[in-house]
A and B are shown apart, each in its own frame.
Chain A
Amino acid sequence: MMPDLGKYADAVLSAYGVSILLIMLLVIITLRKGRAARAALEAVETRSKKNG
Chain B
Amino acid sequence: MSLTEDTPTPKRPSGFWSYANPVKFLGLSERILPAFWGLAAVSLIVGLIWGFFFTPDDFRQGSTVKIIYLHVPSALMAINAWFMMLVASLIWIVRRHHVSALAAKAAAPVGVVMTLIALFTGAVWGQPMWGTWWAWDPRLTSFLILFLFYLGYIALWEAIEDPDTAADLTSVLCLVGSVFAVLSRYAVNFWNQGLHQGASLSLDKEENVADVFYIPLLVCIAGFVFLFLALVLYRTGTEIRLRRARALQAREART
Contact = CB atoms under 8 A, between A and B. Distances in A.
A9 B63 CA distance: 8
Contacts of B121: 15, 18-19
Given A11-B125, A26-B110, A48-B252, A19 B53 contact: no
Interface in A1-51: 1, 3-9, 11-12, 14-16, 18-19, 22-23, 26-27, 30-31, 33-34, 37-38, 40-41, 44-45, 47-48, 51
Contacts of B231: 26-27, 30
Interface in B124-152: 124-125, 127-128
Interface stretch (B92-100, B174-182, B238-246): B238-246
Nearest to B106: A30
Contacts of B127: 11
Interface string B241-255: 110110011011001
Interface stretch (B64-72, B80-88, B186-194): B64-72
Interface of B: 48, 52-53, 57, 62-64, 66-67, 70-71, 74, 109-110, 113, 116-117, 120-121, 124-125, 127-128, 227, 231, 234-235, 237-239, 241-242, 244-245, 248-249, 251-252, 255
A27 B251 CA distance: 33
A2 B233 CA distance: 36
A52 B161 CA distance: 28
A30 B238 CA distance: 9
Question: Secondary structure at chain A's binding surface: helix, strand, loop or mixed?
Answer: helix
Contact of B120 (A3, A15, A30, A51): A15
Contact of A34 (B70, B74, B125, B235): B235
Contacts of B234: 30-31, 34
B52 A15 contact: no
A22 B125 CA distance: 18
Nearest to A45: B248
Given A3-B53, A40-B245, 16 more contacts: A1-B53, A3-B52, A9-B63, A18-B117, A18-B121, A19-B70, A19-B74, A19-B117, A22-B116, A26-B110, A33-B238, A37-B245, A41-B244, A45-B248, A48-B251, A51-B255
